[in-house]
Amino acid sequence: MQTRRGLLLGTLALSLVRSGTAAAEAEDDFAARADALVQPYARAGIFSGAIAVVRDGRVLFRRAYGLADREWSLPNTPETRFRIASLTKQFTAAAILKLGEAGRLDLDDPAAWHVAGLPATWTPITLRMLLDHTAGLPNVTALPDYPTVIARTARSAMEVVARLYGEDLLFPAGSAQEYSNTGYILLAAIIERITGEPFAEALRSLVLAPAGLTATGDADPDAIVPRRAAGYQRSAGVWRNAVPVVAAAALGAGGLVSTIDDLAAWDRALLSGRVLAPESLAAMFRDRGHGYGLGWYLGRAYGQRLWSHGGFLNGFAAIKDTYPDLGLTIVVLGNTETTPAQTLARRLGALALAAPVETGIVVPAPVVDRYAGYYRVGPRAVVALSRSGDRLVAQGTGLARLELVPESDRVFVAEDGVRIALDIEPDGRSTGLLFDAPGGARTGPRIDARTARRITARRLAWQVPR
């Protein structure tokens, strides 16, 4: 009997060892394939940042690419802190829900109950409408002077919100939905009024501390933030420091820094019920017909429920995809404006689920039309861009006609792997491009048609709208 029992235990132990070895080998294989997927973007300089893929608490992939500081050539690491832009909204929403649990507000309270002096036309707007973007508030970040004035000088959240007092609502409150950062900046001000604390401190005590997050916090550009990445944009074919956004101009809507580890931990803490009560969690992920809950987009991908949010803010791009039924979280944080965050996340999701890729990227024709023109990518080399249907078309010196599909609103790829990333100014103008082909990456500024003809010393056979 003892011998038989020993044999059984030995067989079981061997089986467990083999199972564990197989699982480790599968994870190593996934990490290698994920790295191979990301490398072309990193090599070309299109992506610089950090990525994590975590399933049921097990890290399948965790790696950083590129530089956190180009002036000192300091590399990004998995511990680097990035601005997470609109991923901030789910933390703001959680703080409002926590205050609701404490009986200090109700989601159906009019916002005017908590902030004095709002315009009379805003009276019907409730906190819930601010949270799910059904309030009808114009987006303050779309104002012409947002990048040049508001984002650089705002001193308080209410000073930012007040810039909309003279604007008409986009629609009667509650009758439709349109994404607006304004609502979340107002929510941050309401959190400050109710708690009597600065937004960052209130958020820490209400949400971050209960979730056990230590690397997530205020992205105030004036503060000293350890391990913070600098943000970069491209202009006329060269990298430049992105203009920082002052704290008040993004408070509640895009005002946090975080890491890939903290954001993965946030999912585990939130979905396990460690932060919010079941009723609050249900409210956060309830779709009232717009594909949006409270601070989260609610949809499907690869046949699975997908709860997600992306973010973009001067010099940074981010996304967190959460597949709640699979315990799968994918985080992409980048410190370049060219980062195709959603494409990377969805391609990694397809890899993890062994499914055909679905990126869900669509760029409106008017945006593609803005990119049409000529770009100098060498002493006598020119690339011309135009639109054909819903595709961006590239032609040029020594370049066969290429049709490209979007990987973000400014990055496009052809079937042969050639990628083009556009340099975009805050007003939407393209001023240059990065052209990544098998022979290497080339960059250059936008030029006019006359200059294009002159530097190629011949009349171009193709025409692009000026």
Closest C-alpha to 347, from 51, 81, 57, 43:
51
Using an 8 Å Cβ cutoff, are 400 and 410 in contact? Answer: no
Closest C-alpha to 288, from 108, 89, 99:
108
Using an 8 Å Cβ cutoff, are 96 and 330 in contact? Answer: no
Closest C-alpha to 293, from 97, 53, 142, 54:
97
CB crowding 69-82: b at 16 or more within 10 Å, else e: ebeeeeebeeebbb
Place of tokens 């949006």: 292
User: What stretches of 66-131 adopt beta strand conformation (E)?
Assistant: 67-69, 74-75, 82-83
| Mean pLDDT of successive 10-residue stretches along the chain, which has 466 residues | 63 61 75 97 96 97 98 98 98 98 98 96 98 96 92 94 95 96 98 97 98 97 96 93 94 97 98 97 96 97 96 96 98 97 97 91 91 90 91 87 93 93 87 88 91 72 44
In this prediction, residue 204 carries a pLDDT of: 98
Please tell me the distance from the alpha carbon of residue 126 to that of residue 175, in angstroms, as a whole number.
Answer: 12
Cα 285 to its chain centre, rounded Å, is: 19
Using DSSP's 3-state secondary structure scheme, residue 284 falls into: helix
Read off the pTM. Answer: 0.90
In this prediction, residue 440 carries a pLDDT of: 83
Residue partners of 153: CB distance under 8 A and separation at least 6: 246
In this prediction, residue 462 carries a pLDDT of: 44
In this prediction, residue 461 carries a pLDDT of: 43
CB crowding 165-196: b at 16 or more within 10 Å, else e: eeeebbeebeeebeebbbbbbbbbbbbbebbe
In this prediction, residue 16 carries a pLDDT of: 61
* Structure token pair of residue 293: 């809950």
Using an 8 Å Cβ cutoff, are 161 and 138 in contact? Answer: no
